[in-house]
Amino acid sequence: MNPGANPVPLVTIENPLPVSAEQARAWCAQLEAGDILYFPRTPIAISPDDLSFLLGQQQTDSSLHKNIAYKPNADKLSGVETRIANAAAVSRLHSIMRGYSQSVAKYLTEFLSPYRANWSLDYASFRPQEEQGRDLPLRRRNDLLHTDAFPTRPTHGARILRFFNNIHPSRTRDWVVGEPFAQVAPQFAPSQIAPRPDTAASRAAKSLGRAVGLGSAIPSLKRSPYDDFMMRFHNFLKENTRFQAECARYPEQFPPGSSWMVYTDTVPHAVLAGQYALEQTFLVSPQALVAPQHSPLKVLESIAGTALI
Ligand code: SIN
Ligand code: FE
């Protein structure tokens, strides 16, 4: 690799569908290795009326809720500032988010067909805030490079795949990305945050996993040693001024009307500027992966020398 070359390649997809089974498998492999799949023109149709409704939304208190979330499995919308929103607007937003979530799920079921039996639809979000200069507590800041982990939704080894739409009419969404997990974790994870497999905890996590039928992508509430590490690693990266100052940083600017998707548990990322994005998260279970050796679970298990879920 050239020194200074971006280790997180952007793979441009001009003609998204139809996709052969072989090509779908190749997209999955590229994503799993840490590439970003980028669609200059989004494959997700959003009607002009819905777009102008979304662009008319502005939450006044950016610290109150990070984003507006839609939970597809419960068909629930949360994070809307009820103080300023009227019932008709909330119901319209709810129906737009439901439609967005369904469209992305339908599209990716075909585009990433190898995953279809073994992934679950997680939350979708609407991000109407300007990202530049947002005033959030340190661990919730998204302008600091980090890999994703969810404090209240441990994945037990399922991977976090996110699909984004920049719906701003004229501005790019400005990200920086860092070197993938397999490079960063061994380099920056000092002993205090390295995996701490505790036999009793792993046994408990395993029996809990069996009890909730893990193997499907359904996460339980209790963190496995893997989830524990991923959460600590997320916090560690955001809190570590040396990492933030010294790590490799590669800018990516996503134009208006584009989409991109990436495994955000693997690719350190931060959003520096931009406003108005939609996003849908998927949890891809370990059995669905076409190149499991790249997964943070396998990388950590090989460092730890033991099972972590
Ligand atoms: C993030 O996942 O850290 C934020 C990405 C974004 O909102 O563009
Ligand atoms: Fe993130």
Q: Could you list the residue range(s) of the whole structural domain that residue 61 is in? A: 10-179+251-289
Burial of 26 (0-12, 13-18, 19+ CB in 10 A): middle
* Ligand 1 contacts CB of residue 234 (under 6 A): no
The single-letter DSSP state of residue 292 is G
Mutating to test ligand 1, I would choose from 67, 122, 127 the residue with most ligand atoms within 8 A of its C-beta, which is 127
CA distance 163 to 101: 10
Q: Take residue 129 and report the two structure tokens written for it.
A: 């805030």
Integer Cα distance of 244 and 92 in angstroms: 40
Ligand 1 contact via 223 beta carbon (within 6 Å): no
Ligand 1 in reach of 167 Cβ (< 6 A): no
Question: Is residue 102, in this structure, part of any structural domain at all?
Answer: yes
pLDDT for 220 equals 52
212 lies in a domain?
no
On whether residue 245 sits in a domain, the answer given is no
Q: Strands, E, within the chain: which ranges? A: 10-12, 36-39, 68-71, 76-78, 119-127, 159-166, 173-177, 250-254, 259-263, 269-273, 277-284
> What pLDDT, on the 0 to 100 scale, is given for residue 263?
98
How much distance in Å is there from the Cα of 135 to the middle of ligand 2?
Answer: 16
| Per-residue model confidence (pLDDT) at position 207 | 44
Question: How many angstroms separate the CA atoms of 109 and 112, rounded?
Answer: 6
Tens place of pLDDT for every residue, the chain, 309 residues?
344 567 778 999 997 788 999 999 999 999 999 999 999 999 999 999 999 999 988 766 544 455 899 999 999 999 887 555 688 888 999 999 999 999 999 999 999 999 999 999 999 999 999 999 988 899 999 999 999 999 999 999 999 999 999 999 999 999 999 998 988 888 776 555 555 655 545 554 444 334 333 333 444 568 899 999 999 999 999 999 999 999 999 999 999 999 999 999 999 999 999 999 999 999 999 999 999 999 999 999 888 888 899
Does ligand 1 lie within 6 Å of residue 264's CB atom? yes
Give the Cα separation of 305 and 291 in Å (integer): 19
* Positive or negative torsion for Cα 133, 135, 138, 143: negative
- State the closest ligand 1 atom to the C-alpha of 146, by its place in the atom list counted from 1: 3
Number of the ligand 1 atom closest to the C-alpha atom of 162: 2
3-state secondary structure of 137: coil
Cα-to-centroid distance, 184 and ligand 2 (Å): 16
DSSP 211-225: HTTBTBS---SSPPH
Find tokens 């992966």 and name the residue: 289
Q: Which is the closest atom of ligand 1 to the Cα of 264?
A: 2
Q: Which ligand is nearest to the CA of 132?
A: 1
Strand order in the sheet with 250-254: 250-254, 173-177, 269-273
| CA–CA dist 220, 226 (Å, integer) | 13
Domain count, the chain: 1
Does any domain span residue 150? yes
- For ligand 2, the distance from its centroid to the CA atom of residue 165, given in whole angstroms, is 15
Contact 149 CB / ligand 1 (< 6 Å): no
Residue 200 in any domain: the answer is: no
Pocket test for ligand 1, best of 162, 265, 279 (most atoms within 8 A of CB): 279
Question: What sign does the dihedral 77-56-162-300 (CA atoms) show?
Answer: negative
CA angle 221, 277, 185 (to 5 degrees): 50
Q: Whose CA is nearest to atom 7 of ligand 1?
A: 271
State in Å: Cα 270 to ligand 2 middle. Answer: 7
Beta bridge partners of 160: 283
166: Cβ contacts below 8 Å, ≥ 6 apart: 172, 173, 254, 255, 256, 257, 258, 259, 274, 276, 277
Residue nearest to atom 5 of ligand 1 (CA): 271
CATH code, domain with 137: 2.60.120
State the distance from the centre of ligand 1 to the C-alpha of 27, rounded, in angstroms. 22
What is the pLDDT at residue 1? 38
How far apart are the CA of 224 and the centre of ligand 2, in A? Answer: 20
Q: Are 42 and 258 in contact (CB under 8 A)?
A: yes
Spatial separation of the C-alpha atoms in residues 91 and 76, rounded to whole Å: 11
